[in-house]
Homo-oligomer: A and B are copies of this chain.
Amino acid sequence: MGMIGGGMGAFIGAVHRKAAAMDGLIELSCGAFSNSPEKSKASGKELGLPESRVYPDFRTMIEQEKKLPADQRMHFVSIVTPNFAHFEPAMLALENGFHVVIEKPMTFTLEEARQLAAKVKETGLLLCLTHTYAGYPMVKQARYMVEQGLFGKIRKVYVEYPQGWLSELSEKEGNAQAAWRTDPTKSGKAGAMGDIGTHAAHLAEYITGQKIQKLSADIQTIVPGRALDDDGAALLRFDSGASGVLIATQVAAGEENNLSIRVYGEKGGLSWRQMEPNSLEVLWQDKPKEVYRAGQGYLSPVALHNCRTPAGHPEGYIEAFANLYRNFALTLQARLSGEEPDTTLVDFPDVEDGVRGMAFIDNIIASGKSDSKWTDFKI
């Protein structure tokens, strides 16, 4: 694996590295960790990489790595830069035959996303979009139970993602994470909707198997002086009959990272909360509530495939992230061995999810500006 971005001090880069390392399937072999060659070099040194594999920029990295013998060069790049700097390295990597792992939202614009999708299709290379929360085993279990029809036809979906960390104008007080995320030139046309709204939308579609068809949104910038939205909510209608609500806000003071989802069908429903991710509550109309737990033998094969420890030994955010990397690596290994991975077990968000995520941003921002109640979800 070669990393682009994620130099010293970056939050998500370190998470990617821990996640990639967890299962012994992936080795960090090179990187271009910063747009400053010095910082990149220092980061690479800190990470124990040989100097020759630490590059001043992603172009050099891709060019140089390509020249290495196949058994020595990186197999894929992992792109962990801010949104505006996703497209170029991803496209270049694909053009040069490297598979790609990339942070969400996938690109800066929907148009870029479409181009990446076309390139992936053209090259047949793999692209994994790190919608972390889709990596949790109990999310897999939820998806499985819905798919099996245990709840009957799905009617209601409530997904919410309240955070409080942007309750103040912290981008003006030296918070680097806040600074780029609230800067339209780096984050794109959306703030909260891009950063966390896309996660919520992906989770809802992933678990239900239904796609958002139209939405009605109230998008706001609550904190005075902020350049992008930091709050929003939307009424949702899905393509197979469900409806629901999506909430994503970064000004719910006191909230940490409280993503949760509830899905109800004709016979029962389920509830999952990211902050206690190893439990999945299952409600029934006529029998006691059940609590499914990670690591238990009664789980579906796909949920168990994404567990590492026996029940009661909690796994968390880094493990969920690691599941994306592991499933990506297993798919890549299978491909390199000329085999097909078992896609009922091994899955990860891909370039199509990335396109939908960028479309979600476009559509929800458009709806926020519209006086009409409903905005069709267009791609």
Contacts and interface: CB of A to CB of B under 8 A. Distances in A.
Interface of A: 11, 14-15, 17-18, 21-24, 28, 47-48, 151-152, 155-156, 158, 160, 162-165, 167-168, 216-218, 220, 222, 231, 233-235, 237, 243-245, 247, 249, 251-258, 262, 264-269, 274-278, 282-293, 295-298, 308-319, 370-374
Given A156-B251, A373-B372, A288 B293 contact: yes
A251 to B, nearest CB: 6
The 4 closest A-B pairs by CB, nearest first: A254-B283, A256-B312, A257-B312, A314-B316
A298 B288 CA distance: 8
Given A255-B269, A275-B312, A17 B24 contact: yes
Given A264-B254, A286-B297, A233 B231 contact: no
Contacts of A309: 15, 316-318
A298 B286 contact: yes
Contacts of A15: 308-309
A264 B289 contact: no
A288 B284 contact: no
A309 B269 CA distance: 23
A268 B314 CA distance: 21
Contacts of A269: 164, 252-255
A268 B251 contact: no
A148 to B, nearest CB: 15
A208 B73 CA distance: 52
Contact of A266 (B18, B155, B167, B277): B167
B283 A288 contact: no
A285 to B, nearest CB: 5
Count copies of this chain in the complex.
4
Contact of A373 (B249, B257, B373): B373
A311 to B, nearest CB: 4
B254 A284 contact: yes
Contact of A155 (B14, B251, B267, B282): B251
Given A287-B298, A314-B317, A253 B275 contact: no
A249 B231 CA distance: 24
A94 to B, nearest CB: 27
Contacts of A22: 18, 21-22, 318
A254 B316 contact: no
Contact of A291 (B24, B164, B288, B373): B288
Given A276-B276, A314-B314, A253 B151 contact: yes
Contacts of A318: 22, 308-309, 315, 318-319
